[in-house]
């Protein structure tokens, strides 16, 4: 698999580290060892996840395997896709394959949501190969994928009806996140070998078992953006209905992490956490520091991002702003440069000076 040469960014620290109060105390006293980490969230964000390829390779391919233990992986949208690759026999290779497969994907200008959905399902099957059963019986990882079951107009695949539903919930969200959530029913597909995580209490949540016969549906549903990707109808082992992107409610997974017993390591493309998809344009809607008390977050630094092509990490708008060749060249360049983030992560956790790099949320 070819990879574009890195662009050799050399100025400024490549990573930023944030920590909640309890996590900061822990790292200052005991450092951050792989055995300390019991949960990893994976945010929605589509192509933004390309900027995490190197960090993910370090975390799942090198660092965590040094101290095998049960770890919960909670993923929304592309976060769930990352974890499905991280759980494979060769995580570093599978994660690079995800970056390349996502980059290589193209769509016709007149592609319908059903066309995009079929492309997504093919991508998922290509990435999973023959591994679903092995992935779901992994001895050290338990996967949870977030989705929502749409209600009313939001359950329609008719463009105008669905658009009217989106406008209604987006307006409700400005008033209240709880009012917004009434447009959806949160459903998490979770590893049935383990008790449900104590993190879903903010909203009514149905926990459906994640099995080999609904894994592709769950991975499709968690990334089914309204008006862009057709949803999933009646996935197995879950309440009947139309299922859509988990990031609509759990965009950056703003969850009550202090209820989890252990440290949370959060590789993220931003140094802040936005609760829901429609909160992106609401600067006052950010996760409260108390909810991140036991979280250590690591993200690409503004210096690193500023020196990338176009001065930003990839995003979904690149599909329309750029022709395929330009976009693919740019995305491959970003993926290649994340090798520097991989090295910086390992240097930080192994070098004994991580506490000096941590800043509070």
Whether 2 is in a domain gets the answer no
DSSP-assigned states of every residue in 54-102: HHHHHIIIIIGGGS---EEEEEETHHHHHHHHHTSSSHHHHHHHHHHHH
Whether 6 is in a domain gets the answer no
| Helices assigned H by DSSP within the chain | 21-30, 53-58, 78-86, 91-104, 113-128, 132-136, 159-175, 177-181, 215-221, 302-306, 318-321, 324-350, 354-357
Residue 262 pLDDT exceeds 60: yes
Instruction: Tell me the two tokens of residue 104.
Output: 């290589």
Whether 10 is in a domain gets the answer no
- As a whole number of angstroms, the distance between CA 233 and CA 286 comes to 32
User: Which of the two residues, 178 and 268, has the higher pLDDT score?
Assistant: 268
- As a whole number of angstroms, the distance between CA 33 and CA 150 comes to 40
Q: pLDDT value at position 11?
A: 59
**What does each C-alpha distance from 279 to 171, 180, 243, 251, 254 come to in angstroms?**
11, 11, 20, 9, 12
Helix or strand holding residue 187 (H, E): strand 184-190
Could you tell me if 166 and 227 are in contact, meaning their C-beta atoms sit under 8 angstroms apart?
Answer: yes
Q: pLDDT value at position 3?
A: 46
The proportion of the chain whose per-residue pLDDT surpasses 70, expressed as a percent, equals 97
- As a whole number of angstroms, the distance between CA 146 and CA 246 comes to 5
Identify the CA nearest to 155 among candidates 171, 168, 172. Answer: 168
pLDDT digits (tens, 9 = 90+) for 149-187: 999 999 999 999 999 999 999 999 999 999 998 899 999
Whether 350 is in a domain gets the answer yes
Domain membership of residue 261 as a residue range: 15-360
pLDDT digits (tens, 9 = 90+) for 313-356: 999 999 999 999 999 999 999 999 999 999 999 999 999 889 99
Give residue 1's pLDDT band: very low, low, confident or very high (50, 70, 90).
very low
Could you tell me if 271 and 18 are in contact, meaning their C-beta atoms sit under 8 angstroms apart?
Answer: yes
User: For the chain, how many structural domains are there in total?
Assistant: 1
pLDDT digits (tens, 9 = 90+) for 15-45: 999 999 999 999 999 999 999 999 999 999 9
Whether 115 is in a domain gets the answer yes
**What does each C-alpha distance from 114 to 77, 145, 211, 254 come to in angstroms?**
17, 21, 24, 30
- As a whole number of angstroms, the distance between CA 129 and CA 117 comes to 18
Backbone angles phi, psi at 166, to 5 degrees: -65, -45
User: pTM of this prediction?
Assistant: 0.94
Q: pLDDT value at position 6?
A: 42
What region does 352 belong to: left with phi over 0, alpha with psi -120 to 50, or beta? left
Q: pLDDT value at position 134?
A: 84
Give residue 202's pLDDT band: very low, low, confident or very high (50, 70, 90).
confident
- As a whole number of angstroms, the distance between CA 221 and CA 120 comes to 10
């Amino acid at each position: 698999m070819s990879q574009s040469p890195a662009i050799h960014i050399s100025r400024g620290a490549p990573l930023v580290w944030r920590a909640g109060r309890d996590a900061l105390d822990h790292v200052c006293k005991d450092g951050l060892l792989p055995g300390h980490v019991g949960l990893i969230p994976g945010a929605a964000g589509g192509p933004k996840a390309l900027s995490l390829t190197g960090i993910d390779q370090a975390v799942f391919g090198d660092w965590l395997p040094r101290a095998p233990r049960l770890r919960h992986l909670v993923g929304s949208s592309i976060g769930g896709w990352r974890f499905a690759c991280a759980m494979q026999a060769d995580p570093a290779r599978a994660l690079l394959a995800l970056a390349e497969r996502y980059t290589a994907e193209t769509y016709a200008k007149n592609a319908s949501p059903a066309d995009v959905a079929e492309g997504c399902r093919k991508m998922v099957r290509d990435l999973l190969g023959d591994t679903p059963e092995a992935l779901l019986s992994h001895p050290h990882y338990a996967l949870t994928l977030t989705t929502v079951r749409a209600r009313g107009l939001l359950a329609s695949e008719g463009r105008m009806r669905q658009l009217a539903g989106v406008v209604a919930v987006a307006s409700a969200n400005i008033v209240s996140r709880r009012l917004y959530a009434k447009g959806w029913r949160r459903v998490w597909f979770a590893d049935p070998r383990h008790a449900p995580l104590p993190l879903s209490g903010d909203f009514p949540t149905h926990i459906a078992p994640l099995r080999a016969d609904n894994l592709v549906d769950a991975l499709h549903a968690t990334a089914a953006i309204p008006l862009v990707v057709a949803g999933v109808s009646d996935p197995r082992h879950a309440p009947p209905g139309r299922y859509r992107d988990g990031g609509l409610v759990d965009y950056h997974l703003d969850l009550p992490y202090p209820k989890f017993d252990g440290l949370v390591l959060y590789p993220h493309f931003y140094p802040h956490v936005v609760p829901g998809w429609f909160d992106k344009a609401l600067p006052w809607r950010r996760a409260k520091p108390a909810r991140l008390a036991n979280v250590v977050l690591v993200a690409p630094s503004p210096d690193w991002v500023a020196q990338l092509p176009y001065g930003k990490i990839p995003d979904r708008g690149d599909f329309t702003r750029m022709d395929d060749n330009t976009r693919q060249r740019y995305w491959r360049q970003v993926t290649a440069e994340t090798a520097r983030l991989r090295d910086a992560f390992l240097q930080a956790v192994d070098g004994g000076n991580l506490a000096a790099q941590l800043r509070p949320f």
